[in-house]
Amino acid sequence: MDVQEQIAKLESLLGRIQKNAAKPRPAAAAAPTTTAASVVAPRPAPEELPPLSHSPPTARVDQGIVPMARPTPDTGIAAVQPEASAEVEELDMTDAEIVEIDGGGGPPPIEELDLQPVPADEPVPESAPRAAQALADEADLEPPVKTPPPESGRQIVAPPAPAVAFKEEEAEEADLTGGSDVDDLLQPDHSGGPISKAPPGMPTMEQLGETVELEGADGPGPALELQVAEAVDDEIAPDELEFAPPKKEFHGGYDHALAPPASAASDLERMREADPTSLPAPASLAEPGSPSLAGMPAVRAAIAPAPVAAPAPVEPTVVARPPVDAPHAAEVVVAKPVKLPSTFLEILDLSLGL
């Protein structure tokens, strides 16, 4: 809703209020007369604005309040104190026509209105903020140098001033951040706000107490240092007399770059002259660069495997057992039960029968 629409609604509301004010009012409601001896009939129940759009009423205005009768000793008739009933215009407005006007120092919203009169005799709590008028009486009081603890009682509360409030926030920030602007901290508190005011999300002065500045607080936060294990050298320095066995990737063999001794050729020639039937020197003893002995026909024929004739497949001779025409191969001989004689005479007769 922009400003133009709000202005238009306000103008329409003002017009309806003026229109309702020009209407004639009922006599009873227009001039409520009260006497000391008259009994005023109870007024009708206060009208309530019907709720619209299924929402609770935003305001209710009582036209009059019937006070409780208190008997008088003279007449015995209940005397009615004249009521200072305020004539309140009944606003003909709906929820939809309620306009919220944002003004810096404007009235509070309707929900925050306190229509109940505050009793004059009720004592004001010490911690309640006081109005700026009361500050004038205490102007001669010297404000505390430092912010007192909350148990020190009432302190001077000044109406908020933009510049002062700004300085106060600055001072708080300086105090929290460890600033050194002591003059700002010594200024009296004229902001009117609570003594220990801390920005949201920050601890209050009561929680902080006497802050001790730590060295390096402004610096970057501590960083975790991960201790990395140093790479351990798996290979231990071998001893002078220690023999290093071949690695597991070593599969045996000899160094191909190993050259035969210089006297190998002469020794071989001498051996050939001594024994003509000796075999030619192996390739490993040949001089580097000499033709391979495997290429010689005689050597190739000597080292060639002899051809082996593949064995012809032999059919085994199977001798099968002839079938036996005897289905009942097992025979069980049941032992006949031996009947022992019961008397000695029978046993004796059996023995004499042998």
- Note the residues at the interface with another protein (CB under 8 A): 340-345, 347-354
Structure tokens at 307: 């051809």
Kindly state the smallest distance separating residue 343's Cβ from another protein, in Å.
Answer: 6
Structure tokens at 122: 């009720």
User: Rounded to the nearest whole angstrom, what is the least distance from the CB of residue 340 to another protein in the complex?
Assistant: 8
HSE of 120, CA atoms in CB hemisphere, 13 A: 0
Minimum distance from residue 324 beta carbon to another protein (Å) = 35
Give the residue with the Cβ less far from another protein, 250 or 344: 344
CB 334 to another protein: min, Å: 19
How far apart CA 85 and CA 29 sit, in angstroms, is 11
Distance, CA of 176 to CA of 204 (rounded, Å): 10
Residue closer to another protein, measured from CB, 223 or 352: 352
**33 vs 343 by CB, closer to another protein:** 343
8 A C-beta contact, residue 168 and residue 189 = yes
How far apart are alpha carbons 191 and 167 in whole angstroms? Answer: 10
In whole angstroms, the minimum distance from the beta carbon of 339 to another protein comes to 12
Which token pair is 126?
A: 């010490």
Instruction: Tell me if 184 sits within 8 A of 167, measured CB to CB.
Output: yes
Q: Which is nearer to another protein, 133 or 343 (CB)?
A: 343
Q: Please report how many Cα atoms fall inside a 13 Å half-sphere around the Cα of residue 123, on the Cβ side.
A: 3
- Which one, 321 or 336, has the nearer CB to another protein? 336
Report helix, strand or coil for 78: strand
* Alpha carbon distances (Å) from 280 to 265, 274, 298, 301: 12, 13, 10, 13
DSSP state of 283: G
Q: Give the shortest CB-332-to-another protein separation in angstroms.
A: 23
Task: Report, in Å, the least distance between residue 346 CB and another protein.
Answer: 9
Are the C-beta atoms of residues 216 and 222 closer than 8 Å to each other?
A: no
Q: Give the angle 9-10-12 at the CA atoms, nearest 5°.
A: 65
Q: Which is nearer to another protein, 248 or 339 (CB)?
A: 339
Q: How far apart are CA 264 and CA 271, in angstroms?
A: 11
> Do residues 314 and 308 touch, judged by C-beta distance below 8 A?
no
The least CB distance from residue 333 to another protein, in Å, is 18
Q: Which is nearer to another protein, 243 or 344 (CB)?
A: 344
Tokens of 213: 């500045």
Burial 35-62 (b: 16+ CB within 10 A, else e): eeeeeeeeeeeeeebeeeeeeeebeeee
- Of the pair 132, 348, the CB lying nearest another protein is at 348
* Nearer residue to another protein within complex by CB, 116 or 351: 351
- Least distance to another protein, CB of residue 349, Å: 7
